[in-house]
Amino acid sequence: MARQTVFYGAVISPETLSEYQAYPHSLLCVNTSGNINWIVEDVVDSAVQDLLSQYGALEADFIELKHGEFIMPGFVDTHTHAPQVPNIGSGQQHELLDWLAQYTFPMEARFSDVGFARRAYESVVRRIIDCGTTTCCYYGTLHLESTKVLADIVHAYGQRAFVGKCNMDRHAPDNYVEPSADASLAATHALIAHIRALPSPLVQPVITPRFAISCTPPLLGALGALARADQSLLIQTHLSENASEVTFTRSLFSECTSYTDVYDHYGLLGPRTVLAHAVYLDDAEVALIKARDAGVSHCPTSNFNLSSGICKVGAMLDKGIKVGLGTDVSGGFSTSILTAIQHASIASKALAFHSPAPAEATFAGRQLPLSALLHLATLGGAQVCGLQDRVGSLAPGKAFDALLVSVRADAGNPGLWGADLDRELCTGDGARGGLDAMLERFFFTGDDRNVRRVYVQGRWIGGAEERR
């Protein structure tokens, strides 16, 4: 941003799993570095000029939000596969291992063609940004050059992201497998060097062993050693998604006490590890994840779609485990975290049908409240990828990674027209001025039409409204 920008209007931001801030009339100032400078809540119109003067912001760009619009933190997608976006909506009658073999590996293999990868990734990244994802953990394919292209595109489009070259040296088709652990490691190093040479630090590399089945013990060991040697690297992988996968993994690693223990054994389980799915865990595995302070990416759309199962998120939250949301395309059929929010809510309700809440539980066995859904989609995701001090909520000193959301009729989403017509709903009673109702409607009936603007580090990078 060349100048400071001040937004005047409704601001929503998570605080804890049980509470969030919702102020209908805030002033929020973004400085020229794209960080939030200051926020003043509950500002009446007549006080705006005085406050701008007091803060030395009379020259700032001034954006006044309309009735039915609000600012909130951008979504954090803690797990998705960029090369699988072209496969969205196909092969969904299969469970994980058949789906990988019949649909996923053949599509990913096509990314050996760098030209194909460039065309695909340009549209994939644009689509994910326009859904409101300001930080994204991306799996690429096995291919070094194509994954460099993915990182370049993410960087050029201005999204905050982690980009990983998938590691896979066994149990894969001949045309889509790495020749050795050494080759896989060398390509991983080359991708890390490439990403770190990009002009801005918004894009970071991530160690990406596909899952234990796909990696030989020497490869897992080498990646664990890399993670130990470079403590700034994130690790992402899949854990315990599907019953057949768990059985196969246990047969491959009989020396380990559990699937989770495989990653721990090879030095891949720590505070910077993002574990996608975590559906079939026993108590000892949950305790191990907590002890290592690893984070879980809850991917409910994928878990329903591939008939995998339901992650017991509430129980993990009660234990203090970090949890965020993942779209997991194309196991999941939507690039939008809004869909993951909807399915996280349904998943919690489905669990509650069968296992009512224990007396001491806050979240286990209960439907997730709106506050927890907001937290999972933003600050929880930021915690999972170690970015909680930079993003995930709106506070002075943090980066302005944010969405300008509209639930107005002119956003063009017929599912939300009532929110505009019904001023009582949007205005509401009391200090929160109907913001709870607007947020709930956005989460459950909103889509990318309602994501009017997407900002990362103060830069307007996408959304439905045409950029200047």
Ligand X SMILES: O=c1[nH]c(=O)c2nc[nH]c2[nH]1
Question: Minimum Å distance from CB 238 to ligand X?
Answer: 4
**What is the smallest separation between the CB atom of 41 and ligand X, expressed in angstroms?**
41
Nearer to ligand X, 95 or 113 (CB): 95
Closer Cβ to Zn ion, 137 or 464, answer by number: 137
d(CA 418, CA 425): 9
Q: Residue 210: name its binding partner from Zn ion, ligand X, none (Cβ under 5 to 8 Å by kind).
A: ligand X
**Closest residue to ligand X, based on beta-carbon distance:** 331
Check residue 328 for interaction with Zn ion (CB under 5 A): yes
What are the residues facing 402 on neighbouring strands?
A: 73, 455
Q: Which does 211 bind (CB under 5 to 8 A by kind): Zn ion, ligand X, none?
A: ligand X
Least distance to Zn ion, CB of residue 312, Å: 19
DSSP string for 157-201 = HT-EEEEEPEE--SSS-TTSS-S-HHHHHHHHHHHHHHHHTSSST
Binding-site partner at residue 241 among Zn ion, ligand X, none, CB < 5 to 8 Å by type: ligand X
Torsion from C-alpha of 103, 108, 112, 114, nearest 10 degrees? 120
- Residue 216 beta carbon to Zn ion: minimum distance, rounded to whole angstroms: 20
Query: With respect to Zn ion, which residue has the nearer C-beta, 208 or 413?
Result: 208
Burial 98-124 (b: 16+ CB within 10 A, else e): ebbeebbbebbbbbeeeeebeebbeeb
Nearer to ligand X by Cβ, of 83 and 380: the residue is: 83
Instruction: State the residue for tokens 């927890």.
Output: 372
- Tell me whether residue 16 or residue 244 sits nearer to ligand X (CB atom): 244
Q: Which residues of 19-55 are buried (b: 16+ CB within 10 A; e: fewer)?
A: ebbbbbbbbbbbbeebbbbebbeebeeeebeebbeeb
Taking the complex as a whole, how short is the minimal distance between the CB of residue 212 and ligand X, in angstroms?
9
**Tokens matching residue 181:** 């652990």
Report 275-304 residues binding Zn ion (CB under 5 A): 276
Rank residues 135 and 302 by Cβ distance to ligand X and give the closer one: 302
How many other β-carbons are positioned within 10 Å of the β-carbon of residue 209? Answer: 26
Cβ closest to ligand X, residue 178 vs residue 328: 328
In angstroms, what is the minimal distance from the CB of 331 to Zn ion?
6
Q: How far is Cα 326 from Cα 220, in angstroms, rounded to an integer? A: 23
Residue 105 interface partner, choices Zn ion, ligand X, none, CB cut-off 5-8 Å depending on type: none
Looking at 18-89, list the stretches that DSSP marks H as alpha helix, in order from N- to C-terminal side.
48-54
Cβ contacts of residue 214 below 8 Å, gap of 6+?
167, 168, 169, 170, 171, 172
Least separation in angstroms between residue 91's CB and ligand X is 11
Torsion, CA 379, CA 385, CA 391, CA 394, rounded to 10:
10
> Which residues are near ligand X by CB under 6 A?
81, 96, 100, 104, 210-211, 238, 241, 302, 328, 331
Question: Which of ligand X, Zn ion, none has residue 273 at its interface (CB below 5 to 8 Å by kind)?
Answer: none
Residues within the interface to Zn ion (CB under 5 A): 276, 328
